[in-house]
Chains A and B, each alone.
Chain A
Amino acid sequence: MLNYFYRKLSLLFFITFGVTVFVFSLNFLFPTDVLSNMSGIPNIGEEDYAALAEQYYLNNSVIIQYFAFIGRIWQGDWGVSFITGTSIYSQVFRVLPATIELAIYALLYSFIVAIPLGILASSETYPWLDKSILALSIIGFSMPIFWLALLLILVFSIGLGWFPTSGRLSLIYNIPSSSGFLLFDIIRSNVDYKVEAFFDALRHLALPTFVLAAYPTTVLIRTTRQSMKDVMNTSYVKAAKAKGLTSGQLLRRHGLRNGLLPVIQMLGMHFGTVITLAMVTEVIFAWPGVGSWLVDAIHQRDYPAIQGGLLVISGMVFIATILFDLLYMIFDPIARIRGHGKI
C-alpha cells in the first residue's frame, strides 16, 4: 500500500516538474518582455528594470531562474495581472472554489442519476429499458455541450423563465465570501435573506450542473451497465444465485462493490475532460470560475494570468486523477499488487 502511494507521489513529482518547466518557458515564449511576463508589470521603466531583473534572477543562468520561479510559485508570489494589477495568486484561488463547486455537484448528480440507470440497463429482464437508456445516453454523449447549454437556456430561461441565464447568485443578494463555496457561505452567513439567497443559488446551479453532468452521466451509464453485466455473469454470482439469494441481496453483496470499481477508475480518467467541459460551461453561463477567468485572461492577453490559470488547472486535474486512483486502490486489492503508477 505504502509502496503504491510512494509510486503515485513520484509520478506526481515528475508531472509537476513537466508542467512547471512548461509554464516557466511560457515566460520566454509569450511576445511581451520576459520580465513583464514574470512580474506582471507592463512597460517597466529603465530605472526599475535593473532592480527587478535582480529580484527575478534574470542575469543568472536559466536553471537558477527556474528555481527562483519555483520558489515564487511555492511562496504564492505569482506576479500581478497586466489588466487589474492585483495578485494572480489571490485571484486564482478566489475563483477556483466556484469551479470545484460546479464540478463536484455535476459529478454528484451524474453519480446519482447514472448508477441506478446503468444498473437498470444491465438487467436482462427488460431489454426495452436497456435499449432506451442506451439510446438516451448516446444522444447525450454525442451532443456538444455548448449546444445543449444554449438549447436549455433558450427553452428554460428565455422561453419559460424558470432559471436565470448566468452567474452564481442574483446580484440582489450580497453574501460575504469566506470559503468561496457559495452554498456553504450562504448557510454560514447571517443575513436576513438567507433562505431566499439559498434557493436563488440553487436556481442558478440547475442549468450549469445539468449541462456539465451530461457528459459524465452518459459515460457512467455505459460503464456501469457493462461492468454490472460482466459481474453478474461471473461464476461466483451465479453460485450465489444458485444458493438462493434474492436479486436485491445479490446486487448489494456482490454486484455493486465489484461492478462499481471500473466506474471509479473511469471517473478519474474522465476528470480532465470534465474540467475542460466545466470551462466551456462557465463561459456560456458566465459562471465566475477559473475557466471563464482563464478565457478572459486569454482574450485580454494577460500573460501572467494565463500562466497562473494553467498551473492551477493542470494541478487540479492531476491531483484529482491521483486521488481517484488511490480511491480505486482502496476498493480494489488487486490494483495494490499491480501497483505501478499510471495515469
Chain B
Amino acid sequence: MLKNNPLIKVTLIFRLGITALLCLSVVACGKNNQAVLAHKTLLYCSEGSPETFNPQLVTSGTTIDAVSQQLYNRLVKINPETGLVVSDLARKVIVSKDAMRYRFYLRKDVEFHSTKYFTPTRPLTSEDILFTFSRILHLDHEYNMVGGGLYPFFNGMGFDTLIEQIIVVDDLTIEFRLSEPQASFLANMATDFAVILSAEYAEQLITTDQKELIDQLPIGTGPFKFNEYKRDHYIRYNAHKNYWDGQPKLEQVIYDITPNNSNRVAKLLTKECDVLGYPSSADVEFLKQKKDIDIVESVSMNVSYWAFNTNVPPFDNANVRKALSYVVDRQAIIDAVYFNHAEPASTLVPPSSWAYSEENTDVEMSLEKARALLIQEGFAEGFEMDIWAMPVQRVYNPNATKMAEILQQNLAQVGVKANIVSYDWGTFRKKLAKGEHDSVLIGWLADNSDPDNFYRPLLSCAAAFSGSNRSAWCNDDYDKSILNALTTPDPEIRKEYYKQAEKLIYEYSPLVPIAHALRYQVHRNYVEDVEFNPYGGIGFFQAYKGQN
C-alpha cells in the first residue's frame, strides 16, 4: 500500500529535482567559467552602428569609436594626456628642416590579424604603408573607388596636393615628400583616420575578386581583431594575441549597439554594459548620484557655433552679423541646453588648445548694442530670418532646437522674427552644402590636436567651396594668416597668426562661437584604464575589469 502512494513518488521526484539543480549550480560555481569569460569581456554600449570598418572613409564619431583604436594602428599617435605626437607603428620619425620631408622608421615584427578569412604570411612592411596611402592618393589605384572613393578627412586636408611622393626606402623605412611645408602633417597622420591597412590582404581579395570586403571584414594591426558584426545589434572583437605592444588584458570587446539614451543608461545600471558612450547631459546628473559608477569628464576639442550664410542678404553685411552676435545669451544656453556641462566660447578653439589666447573675449550679450547696430544699418523695423537647427544630438550640441528657441526669443526683442527650420540629417546636410540656409546652428569636433583643424575647415576660402565652411565666408587676410600659421614650425609664431585670424573672425562675425561642450564617459567603477582620447575615439587596449 505504502509503495503505491503517489505522494511518495511526487516527493521523490521533487527531491531528485532539487538535487539535480544543486549539482548544476555547484558545477556552475565550481568551473567558474562565467566569471572568467565575463571578467575578460568588456561590453561597451554604443549609440549607433558603424557605417564601415575603415575609418579612412568616414568622419562620424560613432564609426571612429567603434573601429579606429581597436582594429588599427597609425604611423604616429597623439598622447591623450599631453596632446603631443608620439610613436605608434613608426618607432622614429625624422623631419627635414624645411618640414617637407618626413621619414618614418617602422617597428619590426608587427603582426597583422589572423582571422577566419585571412592569415598573414609576413609582418608589417613599408609596402603596407604605401598601399594604404596610395589607395587614397591615386585615382587610378585598384582600391581607390572601392568603398565609394571618398576620403573626407584626407580630401579636407588637401592630401592629394600636399603629398608629392611617397618613397619606399627599404622594408622598414618610408619617406613622405610634401609639395609645401606643413606643420600639422604629423598631427594629421596621428588622427584616427590615418590607419594602416594590409597590402597582403588586399592582394588576396583581388585574387578572389572580393575587393569590397576590405572595408567590411577588416584586417589591421590593432589590439583587437574582428570577429562578428550584426548591424544595429552588436560588434564582437577578440583579442589580437600577437599584438606588437603586448597582449590586451581583455579577451573580448563587445559593442552593444543601443541607440536609445535611456536604454543605454538602464543597461549600465544592470551591468549589461560596462562602459557607456555619450550619456546625455541630463543622465550625467542622475548617474553622478550612483556610487558604483564613475564619470570621467574631459575637455573635448569642439565648438558649437551659429553660422550666417554670408551670400544671402542681409547677412552679407558684417554689421548685421555683429548685431546678431550680441543677441546670443551664452549663459542661458549653457544652462538650458548643456545643463552646465559646457563652457562659453569666445573663440573657435577651446581654452585647452595651445593656440588659445585670452584676447578677443568681448562676447557679452547686449540687446542695446544689437538694436543700435541694426538701426544704424537701416533695420529699425527688424526682418525675418531662418535658423536651421541640426536634427541630431552631437557632443558639441545636445539639442540644437532648444538652442534655436532661446535665440528666437532674444531675437524677437530686437525686432527680428526667426523661424526654426529642420530636416532629417541627410537632407539637412545636403541642403546646407547647397547653401540654402540663412543661418545654421551646428558645430565642429576636431580630429586632431592641431588648431589648424578648427581654422581651416570652418572658415577658409577653400572650405567655402568644398562645403564645411557653413558661412561661405572668404577673406584673403584670414586665409593668409592661417596659411602662414600652417607653414611655420615654431608654435609661438603660429599662435600669433592664429590670434590675427581670431581677430578677423571677431570683426566680421561670419559665425558666432557659442560653447565648448565637456565630454563625458561613464563606466562601472570596476573598469580600469579605458583610454578616453579628447581628439578622437575610445581605446580598450589597456582596459581591464578589476574587483567588483
Contact = CB atoms under 8 A, between A and B. Distances in A.
Contacts of B228: 174
B272 A161 contact: no
Interface string A147-182: 000000100011001011111001111100000000
B14 to A, nearest CB: 15
A288 B231 CA distance: 13
B190 interface: no
A157 B270 contact: yes
Nearest to A160: B270
Interface residues of A, number: 24
Contact of A196 (B34, B256, B269): B34
B256 A171 contact: yes
Contacts of B41: 172
Contact of B233 (A157, A161, A288): A288
Interface string A76-98: 00000000100000000000000
Given A174-B228, A195-B24, A195-B28, A164 B270 contact: yes
A286 interface: yes
A265 to B, nearest CB: 29
Nearest to A163: B270
Given A192-B33, A195-B27, A196-B33, A166 B271 contact: no
Given A172-B38, A199-B28, A164 B236 contact: no
Contact of B33 (A158, A165, A193): A193
Contacts of A170: 38, 272
A286 B263 contact: yes
Nearest to B41: A172
B272 A166 contact: yes
Nearest to A195: B28
A174 B270 contact: no
Contacts of B24: 195
Output the residue of A172, A200, A286, A288 with the most chain B CB within 10 A.
A172
Nearest to A204: B272
Nearest to A156: B270
Interface string A180-203: 000000000000110110011000
B272 A165 contact: yes
B64 to A, nearest CB: 21
Contacts of B43: 171-172
Given A158-B269, A171-B256, A192-B33, A165 B38 contact: no
A183 B28 CA distance: 16
Output the residue of B34, B231, B270 with the most chain A CB within 10 A.
B270
A171 B266 CA distance: 16
Interface string B292-310: 0000000000000000000
A70 to B, nearest CB: 31
Interface string B11-36: 00000000000001001100101100
B37 A196 contact: yes
Contacts of B227: 174
Contacts of A171: 43, 234, 236, 254, 256
Nearest to B260: A286
A173 B34 CA distance: 9
Nearest to A197: B34
B33 A172 contact: no
Contacts of A165: 263, 266-267, 270, 272
A174 B41 CA distance: 12
A61 to B, nearest CB: 39
Interface in A117-169: 153, 157-158, 161, 163-167
A203 B24 CA distance: 15
B252 interface: yes
Contacts of A288: 233
B272 A164 contact: yes
Contacts of B263: 165-166, 286
A173 B234 CA distance: 12
Interface string B308-342: 00000000000000000000000000000000000
Contacts of B234: 171
Contacts of A174: 227-228, 236
Contacts of B28: 195-196, 199
Contacts of B232: 296
Nearest to B251: A172
A215 to B, nearest CB: 24
A94 to B, nearest CB: 11
Nearest to A174: B236
Interface string A268-287: 00000000000000000010
Contacts of A161: 269-271
Contacts of B270: 157-158, 161, 163-165
A174 B238 CA distance: 12
Nearest to A157: B270
Nearest to A200: B34
A193 B33 CA distance: 6
A166 B43 CA distance: 14
Interface in B197-250: 227-228, 231-234, 236
A304 B266 CA distance: 33
A309 B227 CA distance: 29
Nearest to A167: B272
Interface in A195-236: 195-196, 199-200
Contacts of A164: 270, 272
A233 B496 CA distance: 100
B265 to A, nearest CB: 9
Given A174-B227, A195-B33, A196-B33, 19 more contacts: A157-B266, A164-B272, A165-B267, A165-B272, A166-B272, A170-B38, A171-B256, A172-B43, A174-B228, A192-B33, A193-B34, A193-B37, A195-B24, A195-B28, A196-B28, A196-B31, A199-B34, A288-B233, A296-B232
27 contacts: A153-B266, A157-B266, A157-B269, A157-B270, A158-B269, A158-B270, A161-B270, A161-B271, A163-B270, A164-B272, A165-B266, A165-B270, A166-B263, A170-B38, A170-B272, A172-B43, A172-B252, A172-B254, A174-B227, A174-B228, A195-B24, A195-B28, A195-B31, A196-B28, A196-B37, A199-B34, A200-B34
- List the 10 shortest-distance A-B pairs measured between CB atoms, nearest first: A196-B34, A171-B254, A172-B41, A193-B33, A157-B270, A195-B28, A158-B269, A165-B266, A164-B272, A171-B234
Interface of B: 24, 27-28, 31, 33-34, 37-38, 41, 43, 227-228, 231-234, 236, 252, 254, 256, 263, 266-267, 269-272
Interface of A: 84, 153, 157-158, 161, 163-167, 170-174, 192-193, 195-196, 199-200, 286, 288, 296
